[in-house]
Amino acid sequence: MTRVLKIGGSILTDKSRELTARPEEITRVAKEIASHPDDVVLVHGAGSFGHFPAKKYDLPHEFNRAGLRVTHNCVARLCEKVVEALSLAGVECLPVHPLSCLLLRDGRIDSFFMEPIKEMLKNGIMPVLHGDVAMDAAGKAAIVSGDHLIAYLGKALQAEVVAVGSNVDGVLFSGRPLSRITRKEFSVVQSAIGGSASADVTGGMRGKLLELLDLADLGIDSVIFNAGIEGNIARALKGECVGTRIGRAN
């Protein structure tokens, strides 16, 4: 039973400050993941390690070689912190940098060499991916968001749990989290679902939801939950709906 979990950059970093990690939160998140570590693929957001340099170099609108290098190196540094926290919590894990194993076409994943990820899972190692820059066969280079990665992995691995942790209690409508959303409800509430309140070049809640609605179309449900509340990550990994469930319209 494969489980794919995303922890947003909104939890692991201070998105209002460039290159600022939140070490206590990284440690707490790692401990919660360590309570249910089997068959988990972790994706973390880039937070202030990705969105600041991306904005500075105007990625993905401009092709900028130095911008790609700087942005990748920054998100890889955050990944290193996450991997270190997980190993301190007792989880054997390895970083998997999307830049080095996938190719985009027009901003979407076109090919992805996933065999290393599958072998890691078979051998009791948790793969740790992250939002990254990536080469694009049609447009030179672009950004691959953690939200895009999670939906892709959910499908490719036919995951039984797809859990996306952010800093809100789910998809909010009139200030309260919806218990379930499908394309049908989305068309009604979409004007209330926006981008990120902080630095985020990948579409905030709207970007997340669009990816997960695509996944739901394929018959795979997911949950958007608040990973900032202690206990929620462990519950989400157990398959509990601790936020908004994204499903297919009947």
Ligand X SMILES: Nc1ncnc2c1ncn2[C@@H]1O[C@H](COP(=O)(O)OP(=O)(O)O)[C@@H](O)[C@H]1O
Residue 171: name its binding partner from ligand X, Mg ion, none (Cβ under 5 to 8 Å by kind). ligand X
CA distances from 78 to 23, 45, 71, 90 (A): 10, 9, 11, 19
199: three-class secondary structure by DSSP? coil
* Residue 234 beta carbon to ligand X: minimum distance, rounded to whole angstroms: 18
Contact (CB, 8 A) for 111 and 77: no
Chain positions 137 to 176 lying near ligand X, rule: CB under 6 A, are 166-168, 171-172
Residue 172: name its binding partner from Mg ion, ligand X, none (Cβ under 5 to 8 Å by kind). ligand X
* Residue 8 beta carbon to ligand X: minimum distance, rounded to whole angstroms: 2
Give the whole-angstrom CA distance, residue 184 versus residue 176.
18
* Residue 231 beta carbon to Mg ion: minimum distance, rounded to whole angstroms: 22
Q: Does 190 bind ligand X (CB under 6 A)?
A: no
Q: Does 1 bind ligand X (CB under 6 A)?
A: no
* Residue 56 per-residue DSSP state: H
Whichever of 20 and 111 has its CB closer to ligand X, that residue is: 20
CA distances from 143 to 40, 68, 88, 108, 202 (A): 24, 9, 30, 9, 8
* Residue 131 beta carbon to ligand X: minimum distance, rounded to whole angstroms: 8
Q: Does 211 bind Mg ion (CB under 5 A)?
A: no
Chain positions 175 to 204 lying near Mg ion, rule: CB under 5 A, are 200
* Residue 45 beta carbon to Mg ion: minimum distance, rounded to whole angstroms: 5
Q: Does 10 bind ligand X (CB under 6 A)?
A: yes
Whichever of 120 and 211 has its CB closer to ligand X, that residue is: 211
Helix-helix angle 47-56:65-88, to 10 degrees: 180
- Name residues whose C-beta falls within 8 Å of residue 247's C-beta, 6 or more positions apart in sequence: 180, 181, 182, 216, 221
Phi-psi region of 24 (alpha: psi -120 to 50; beta: other; left: phi over 0): alpha
Q: Which residues of 205-217 are buried (b: 16+ CB within 10 A; e: fewer)?
A: bbbbbbbbbbbbe
Chain positions 17 to 76 lying near ligand X, rule: CB under 6 A, are 45, 47
Q: Does 200 bind ligand X (CB under 6 A)?
A: yes
* Residue 157 per-residue DSSP state: T
Query: Binding marks (x or -) toward Mg ion, 136..175, rule CB under 5 A?
Result: ----------------------------------------
Site residues (vs ligand X, CB under 6 A)? 8-10, 45, 47, 166-168, 171-172, 192-194, 196-198, 200, 204-205
Site residues (vs Mg ion, CB under 5 A)? 200
